[in-house]
Amino acid sequence: MTIHIGAKPGDIAETVLMPGDPYRAKWAAETFLTDAVCINEVRGMLGYTGMWNGNRVTIQGSGMGMPSMSIYANELIKDYDVQTLIRIGSCGGMQDRTKVRDVVLAMTACSSGTPSDTIFRELNYAPVADFGLLQAAHAAATKRGTPTHVGSIYSSDTFYAERTDLTEQMIRHGVLAVEMEAAELYILAARYKRRALAVMTVSDHIITGEALPSDQRERSFGDMVEIALEAAFA
Domains along the chain?
Answer: 15-232 (3.40.50.1580)
Of all residues in the chain, the percent with pLDDT exceeding 90 is 90
Please say whether the beta carbons of 155 and 66 come within 8 A. Answer: yes
Q: Residue 34 has what pLDDT?
A: 98
DSSP character at residue 211: B
The CA-based angle 67-212-199, given to 5 degrees, is 45
Give the residue numbers of the binding site: 4, 20, 24, 43, 87-90, 179-181, 203-204
pLDDT, tens digit (0-9, with 9 covering 90-100), for 124-159: 999 999 999 999 999 999 999 999 999 999 999 898
220 pLDDT higher than 90: no
| pLDDT tens-digit series, residues 167-177 | 999 999 999 99
Q: Quote the pTM value.
A: 0.96
3-class SS at 217?
helix
At residue 116, the 3 state secondary structure works out as: coil
pLDDT tens per residue, range 69-117: 999 999 999 999 999 999 999 999 999 999 999 999 999 999 998 999 9
Nearest by Cα to 228 from 182, 191, 177: 182
Average pLDDT along the chain? 95
Nearest to 31 by CA among 55, 7, 11, 48: 48
- Give the Cα-Cα-Cα angle 24, 28, 33 (nearest 5 degrees): 155
Residues within the annotated binding site for a purine D-ribonucleoside? 4, 179-181, 203-204
How sure is the predictor about 163, in pLDDT bands with cuts at 50, 70 and 90?
confident
**Residue 79 catalytic?**
no
pLDDT at 185 over 90: yes
Point out the catalytic residue in the list 157, 204, 215, 223: 204
**Model confidence at 218: pLDDT above 80:** no
Alpha-carbon distance of 140 to 129, in angstroms, equals 16
What Cα–Cα distance (Å) separates residue 9 from each residue in 5, 78, 80, 81, 204?
Answer: 11, 12, 7, 10, 39
> 41-45 contacts: CB < 8 A, separation 24 or more?
41/6, 42/4, 42/5, 42/6, 43/4, 45/4, 45/5, 45/72
- What contacts 16, CB < 8 A, 6 or more positions away? 57, 58, 59, 60, 76, 82, 84, 85, 86
* pLDDT above 70 coverage of the chain, percent: 99
Helix (H) or strand (E) holding 49: strand 47-52
- pLDDT reported for residue 217: 72
Looking at residue 219, its pLDDT comes to: 67
pLDDT-derived band at 213 (thresholds 50, 70, 90) equals confident
